[in-house]
Structure 1
Amino acid sequence: MVDTSTSDAEKIRTSAAWVSVIVSLLVFLFKVGAYRITGSTAVLSDALESIVNVIASAVALFVIRFAAIPADHNHPYGHGKAESFSSAFEGGLIFFAAIMIIGESAKALFYQEPPRQLETGLWIVGAAALVNLFLGLYLKRVGKSHKSEALKASGAHVMSDVLTTVGVMVGLVLVLVTGKTWIDPLIAILVGAHLAYSGYKISRESLGVLMDEQDENVLEDLATSIRKNRKPGVIEIHNLRIIRSGRFHHVDAHLVVPEYWDVAEVHSFTHNYESEVVRDYEFDGELAFHLDPCKKSYCQICDMPNCPIRQLPFQELRLPTVKSLTGGPRPTNQGPYDKPDSSQKN
């Protein structure tokens, strides 16, 4: 049976990607027109970044559709990591464009005709910046609410483009006021440096996802759901790991349960608990628990009522933290865990 909510989310992500392609192309044409009118190196640098926007948004559209393909025999964890690849690719394009901009602008410091009709150019790039502002806010909102790495990366890039355009406009105003034409290529060099840093950040974050680097915010959200749904029988969880594949996360961990439970009872209990945790988790996903028997070493932190093998009285409930979840097993004779911050929701 098709999950209607998932299908609707896919349509929203795809629509947002189409909007990004069309608007990015229009903004690029605006900026090319502004460059032809003004001959400004700074405006040219802004237009070059918009070329990257157009290419990256087209790639994101393809990747979002590809990432929506369900898991299959060759891709058991699905195709979601393609979104992170798209983000890394976009970051690389931005960095490459930045190097080109810096090189061309450095030459323009010595060999460039003075810019012209700057007032007209200001109006055009100002309109482009306003359109990009709305596009960037829209992409970031959809990317965050529908868990799309590609859309979030595109939104971040478009917002960076807005800042770039504002910097270009400031440069054009300074040229108008002072008459010093060397300000124009200097602003373009600064734009290139800003883009290089932006491209590095996007690529670094995307490569982290591709290599399953731990994300503290994601881990804390999962820990919150685990604490919220914790019940007697969930004695301890440790060795937790997350594989992120777009908006779908595969989580595996060790779960300590009462050793006197039979297989059928443990299976039913863990299945229900996994479903409850995923329900309250920020992302779509699945949990796979490796079951460990308590071996009577967790008595003081186990609140299981009427336990037939209890050797020590229950003393304290240790709610899981990110540190305890991702660490190794810690029965009572190995010292206490860090307690969750009282400001965190349980």
Structure 2
Amino acid sequence: MQNAVSSSDKIRNRAAWVSAIASVLIFAMKVFAYRLTGSTAVLSDALESIVNVIAAIVALFVIRFASQPADENHPYGHGKAEYFSSAFEGGMIFFAAIMIIGEAVKALIYHEPTQQLETGLLIVGGAALVNLALGLYLKRVGRTHQSDALKASGAHVLSDVLTTVGVMVGLGLVLLTGIQWLDPVIAVLVGLQLAYAGFKIVRGSLGGLMDQQDPASLEQLAEAMEKNRVPGVINIHHLRVIRSGRFHHVDAHMVVPEYWDVSQVHAMTGDFEAAVVKDYEFDGELVFHLDPCKKSYCDSCQVPQCPIRLQPFRQKPDFSVKSLTDDPAPTNQGTHDRSGSSQTN
């Protein structure tokens, strides 16, 4: 498992390098197009690319830092650094949007003319194709190797492609109609779209920093627990997840047969934890607080030949996100013991 994680870290670092180099190339192409055309819309596209360059360089260092293993001062690893990277990128996008709108307003007031729009369209179109390939690559690596920084960069780069397409449409309209004020108007629209994109990225990053529950990962966790459920796992509830990049710490209460001894419970929970983590997309650990059944779960307990059963087994309720994260329907009065945990690296 260690080799697999190291390989994953190398892939994320390589993707960050590709992003940094490609962002510099795309920025240079757009600056050249602006110098040729004098278009405010092209300038707005180039300003966004400055954000791409800065964000790619920041992500390069953050991803290397986030890949460091857990240590004494960071027991859950360094993965939360990726949320800072994506939040920084979102803030930079919002700042670029303000700059773009300001330049567009100046162009509307002073009526700055455009020139050589055909050549500019070709250069900007080439930059859009490179950006499209980069954005799809970053999104794929970010999803496959659980990197929030790369996923945020990929989403930003793909939004940059849409921005460039909008700029190209605007330049095409200026060419067809000769109406020069369309150019800064397109730039204003680009700025507004970027401001919204930056807000969404910042909001998602703050959710990760504040351990906001992620519905998709919770759903996958519920499926893994249901798949690996054994008769001794009577109920799981009050589940919480702390996300630290690709490493997730899962804390929950597990109801077990009250007459089982410590060794039997420890062996069962250890096997269950290892099986769930193996089927879960992220690296992580599960830690359970153990609740004795107190004969409250007889009709949903599958333990065979139970010596204390008060009611016959009727139906085993499936694990779902709601059932795992809510408090249980029966009220258990027992004390909570803490089991060992299963961890992957």
Q: Same fold (TM over 0.5)?
A: yes
**Could you give the per-residue CA deviations for residues 251-270 of structure 1, whole angstroms, max 9, x where no partner exists?**
00000000111111111110
Runs (5+) with no aligned partner, structure 2: 333-345
Work out whether 1:174 is the aligned partner of 2:186.
no
Structure 2 Cα separation of the partners of residues 199 and 223 of structure 1: 32
Q: Match for residue 279 of structure 2?
A: 280
Work out whether 1:241 is the aligned partner of 2:240.
yes
Quote how far apart the aligned CAs of 1:332 are. 8.9
Equivalent pair of 1:105/1:189 in contact (CA under 8 Å): yes
Q: Match for residue 343 of structure 1?
A: none
Structure 2 Cα separation of the partners of residues 319 and 231 of structure 1: 12
Structure 1 Cα separation of the partners of residues 275 and 111 of structure 2: 65
Give the AA of the match of 2:324. L
Quote how far apart the aligned CAs of 1:104 are. 1.3
Structure 1 Cα separation of the partners of residues 182 and 252 of structure 2: 58
With the length of structure 2 as denominator, give the TM-score of the two structures.
0.95
Work out whether 1:111 is the aligned partner of 2:110.
yes
- Taking the TM superposition and a 5 Å limit, the aligned residue runs for 1:1-346 are 3-331=2-330
Q: Match for residue 337 of structure 2?
A: none
Equivalent pair of 1:278/1:286 in contact (CA under 8 Å): yes
Quote how far apart the aligned CAs of 1:100 are. 0.9
Give the AA of the match of 1:40. S
Equivalent pair of 1:298/1:332 in contact (CA under 8 Å): no
Quote how far apart the aligned CAs of 1:215 are. 1.3
Aligned length: 332
Secondary structure class of the residue paired with 2:124:
helix
**Could you give the per-residue CA deviations for residues 283-341 of structure 1, whole angstroms, max 9, x where no partner exists?**
111100000000111100001001111111111111111111000122299xxxxxxxx
* Superposed structure 1 runs of 4+ greater than 6 Å apart: none
Equivalent pair of 1:300/1:332 in contact (CA under 8 Å): no
Runs (5+) with no aligned partner, structure 1: 334-346
Structure 1 Cα separation of the partners of residues 131 and 87 of structure 2: 21
Structure 2 Cα separation of the partners of residues 108 and 114 of structure 1: 9
Equivalent pair of 1:301/1:332 in contact (CA under 8 Å): no
Secondary structure class of the residue paired with 1:110:
helix
Equivalent pair of 1:242/1:249 in contact (CA under 8 Å): yes
With the length of structure 1 as denominator, give the TM-score of the two structures.
0.95
Secondary structure class of the residue paired with 1:109:
helix
Pairwise CA RMSD: 1.1
**Could you give the per-residue CA deviations for residues 43-99 of structure 1, whole angstroms, max 9, x where no partner exists?**
000000000000001011101000011111111111000001100110000001001
Secondary structure class of the residue paired with 2:109:
coil
**Could you give the per-residue CA deviations for residues 200-246 of structure 1, whole angstroms, max 9, x where no partner exists?**
01111111011011111111110010111111010000000000000
Structure 1 Cα separation of the partners of residues 155 and 294 of structure 2: 50
Structure 1 Cα separation of the partners of residues 220 and 98 of structure 2: 38
Structure 1 Cα separation of the partners of residues 143 and 285 of structure 2: 20
